[in-house]
Amino acid sequence: MCIACDTKLNPESLDEFGDRFIRILNHGALAVMISIGHRTGLFIAMRKTGPATSRQIAAEAKLNERYVREWLGAMTCGGIANCDESGSVFTLVPAAAEMLGGGNGAESLAYLAQYVAMMGFIEDKVIDCFHRGGGVPYSEFPRFHEVMAVDSKQTVVDPLFEHLLPLVPGLTMALDNGIEVLDVGCGRGKALLKMAAEFPQSRFTGFDLSVEATREAAKEAEALGLVNVKFEVRDLSDFHKTAPIAAFDFITAFDAIHDQARPDHVLAGIRRALKPGGVFLMQDIGASSNVAENKDHAIGTLLYGLSCTHCMTVSLAQGGLGVGAMWGEQLTRDFLKDAGFRRIDRHTLSHDIQNYYYIVKP
Ligand X SMILES: C[S@@+](CC[C@H](N)C(=O)[O-])C[C@H]1O[C@@H](n2cnc3c(N)ncnc32)[C@H](O)[C@@H]1O
- Alpha-carbon distance of 164 to 198, in angstroms, equals 14
Nearer to ligand X (CB atom), residue 100 or residue 256: 256
Nearer to ligand X (CB atom), residue 216 or residue 329: 216
255 sits near ligand X (criterion: CB under 6 A)? yes
Cβ atoms within 10 Å of 196's Cβ, excluding its own: 22
324 sits near ligand X (criterion: CB under 6 A)? no
Q: Which of residues 186-205 bind ligand X (CB under 6 A)?
A: 186-187
- In the shown chain, the binding pattern of residues 146 to 165 toward ligand X, with x for contact by CB under 6 A and - for none, equals --xx--x---x---------
Name the minimum Å distance from CB 284 to ligand X: 10
Name the minimum Å distance from CB 279 to ligand X: 17
Name the minimum Å distance from CB 117 to ligand X: 17
Q: Which of 114, 202, 205, 260 binds ligand X (CB under 6 A)?
A: 260
Q: Which of 180, 208, 216, 329 binds ligand X (CB under 6 A)?
A: 208
Kindly state the number of chain residues that form the binding site for ligand X, as judged by CB under 6 A: 23
Question: Which residues, at least 6 apart from 277, have a Cβ–Cβ distance to it below 8 Å?
Answer: 249
Nearer to ligand X (CB atom), residue 135 or residue 185: 185
286 sits near ligand X (criterion: CB under 6 A)? no
235 sits near ligand X (criterion: CB under 6 A)? yes
- In the shown chain, the binding pattern of residues 104 to 143 toward ligand X, with x for contact by CB under 6 A and - for none, equals ----------------------------------x-----
237 sits near ligand X (criterion: CB under 6 A)? yes
Name the minimum Å distance from CB 91 to ligand X: 35
Q: Which of 42, 58, 118, 209 binds ligand X (CB under 6 A)?
A: 209
SS (H, E, C) the chain: CCHHHCCCCCCCCHHHHHHHHHHHHHHHHHHHHHHHHHHHCHHHHHHHHCCECHHHHHHHHCCCHHHHHHHHHHHHHCCCEEECCCCCCEEECHHHHHHHCCHHHCCCCHHHHHHHHHHHHHHHHHHHHHHHCCCCCHHHCCCHHHHHHHHHHHHHHCCHHHHHHHHCCCHHHHHHHCCEEEEECCCCCHHHHHHHHHCCCCEEEEEECCHHHHHHHHHHHHHCCCCCEEEEECCHHHHHHHCCCCCEEEEEEECCCCCCCCHHHHHHHHHHHEEEEEEEEEEEECCCCCHHHHCCCCCHHHHHHHHHHHHHHHHHHCCCCCCCCCCHHHHHHHHHHHCCCCEEEEECCCCCCCEEEEEEEC
Name the minimum Å distance from CB 207 to ligand X: 6
Nearer to ligand X (CB atom), residue 90 or residue 138: 138
236 sits near ligand X (criterion: CB under 6 A)? yes
Nearest of 69, 74, 48 to residue 60 by alpha carbon: 48
Buried/exposed code over 11-34 (b: 16+ C-beta within 10 A; e: otherwise): eeeeeeeeeeeeeeeeeeebbbbb
- Selected range binding ligand X among 43-51, 221-229, 256-264, 354-362, rule: CB under 6 A: 256-264
274 bridge partner residues:
248
Half-sphere exposure in the Cβ direction for 259 (13 Å, CA): 29
339 sits near ligand X (criterion: CB under 6 A)? no
Q: Which of 101, 185, 263, 286 binds ligand X (CB under 6 A)?
A: 185
Q: Which of 202, 210, 228, 307 binds ligand X (CB under 6 A)?
A: 210
- Selected range binding ligand X among 52-60, 162-170, 220-228, 234-242, rule: CB under 6 A: 234-242
Name the minimum Å distance from CB 184 to ligand X: 7
Q: Which of 71, 231, 250, 254 binds ligand X (CB under 6 A)?
A: 254
**Which residues are at the interface with ligand X (CB under 6 A)?**
138, 148-149, 152, 156, 185-187, 208-210, 213, 234-237, 254-256, 259-261, 318
